[in-house]
Structure 1
């Protein structure tokens, strides 16, 4: 049985690298969607909606393909922490996270243009930060420069030293794409992974 054409609806280098761990052949296309949260939208609702919108935005113009959409939000004390973009904002985020537990919600939607119901999964990951000194925060940010990462760190790199513990059913969810859930969905859709 021929493998379907698979498209990752993302421009994220982290998601591309993760997907390449389980799939050799896929295309990555950046979806052009508005990611602004709705008023009073809960973080879980936001990430689920954005994964669906990303997947559908690509599926409409590629009806033959199986499209993977994903999104992630970082939540501290019911506030969403976005990508910092600057050193000052990253310092502010990591100071706020110091000694706290932060929850990352990573969503996954696998669809094609013919799907009427959108089956979306959200994986929660809890990250407990240790107490961080200002010196550690600045040193970390200068070395890794995670300004394009929600929460201002990369757990797959030096960021791991900032934590006391990580709790998740899927360790790859924290990096940006829950591969256990994705592999399950792809197998259900007849994609041969091994």
Structure 2
């Protein structure tokens, strides 16, 4: 686990409990996004098997894995509030994961060019000690441009998005591959829907906008 990312007042209001906040993910993208909330948190690897179940729809896969990741970390740190998240690219019901290699990324972008892909991004918040558990899904509709072989090759060589579901970073040069993005939670496509995350953290007792209170 990493040290807290910021130093804030940890004084709890009477009758409240100060809980550590843990991001149950080793994703550097999710870590950067959570840092935007300016609250201290730690990071732990959830060690969850991400293999899809037979016939499992992309949205259900994302929801199941987000909750499994949060529960896995919460089991080791029952006093903490734990965030788990997962993203699955959904191409006409076909789940697309992280490519992991240049060749697989080329194949994914060939599959997706000219298509509309739904990026199913789930986030779960769990506290084992209090019994709190919530999970939500943010669906981001992304329309890819018609892409030629040279564009795909140039993009992948420059950005190397092999650890990204769908083989493209919308926050970087990958935006040049797209026609449009539709979402009600702007950071969901990057990997962590912060509007939904904030809503669940408040429900779990984390005071996000307070100089004192139940902040981790």
What's the TM-score, normalizing by structure 2? 0.86
Which of 72, 82, 90 is matched with 1:75 structurally?
Answer: 90
Gaps of 5+ in 1: none
Which of 191, 204, 215 is matched with 1:189 structurally?
Answer: 204
Which of 22, 31, 36 is matched with 1:7 structurally?
Answer: 22
Gaps of 5+ in 2: 1-10, 13-17, 210-216
Instruction: Judge conservation of contact 2:39–2:208 (CA < 8 Å) in 1.
Output: no
What per-residue deviation string (whole Å, max 9, x for no partner) do you get for residues 118-140 of structure 1? Answer: 32101100100111111111100
Instruction: Tell me the secondary structure at the aligned position of residue 154 of structure 1.
Output: coil
Compare 113-122 and 16-25 and name the one that shifted more. 113-122
What's the TM-score, normalizing by structure 1? 0.96
Distance 1:182 1:152 in 2: 24
Distance 1:163 1:128 in 2: 6
Greater helix content: 1
Distance 2:25 2:100 in 1: 19
Equivalences for 1:51-90 in 2 at 5 Å?
A: 51-90=66-105
State the partner residue of 2:31.
16
Instruction: Judge conservation of contact 2:114–2:143 (CA < 8 Å) in 1.
Output: yes
Note the C-alpha offset of 1:116.
4.7
Q: Let me know the Cα RMSD of the aligned residues.
A: 1.3
Note the C-alpha offset of 1:35.
1.0
Instruction: Tell me the secondary structure at the aligned position of residue 161 of structure 2.
Output: coil
State the partner residue of 2:194.
179
Kindly name which structure, 1 or 2, has the bigger radius of gyration based on alpha carbons.
2
Equivalences for 1:37-186 in 2 at 5 Å?
A: 37-114=52-129, 116=131, 118-186=133-201
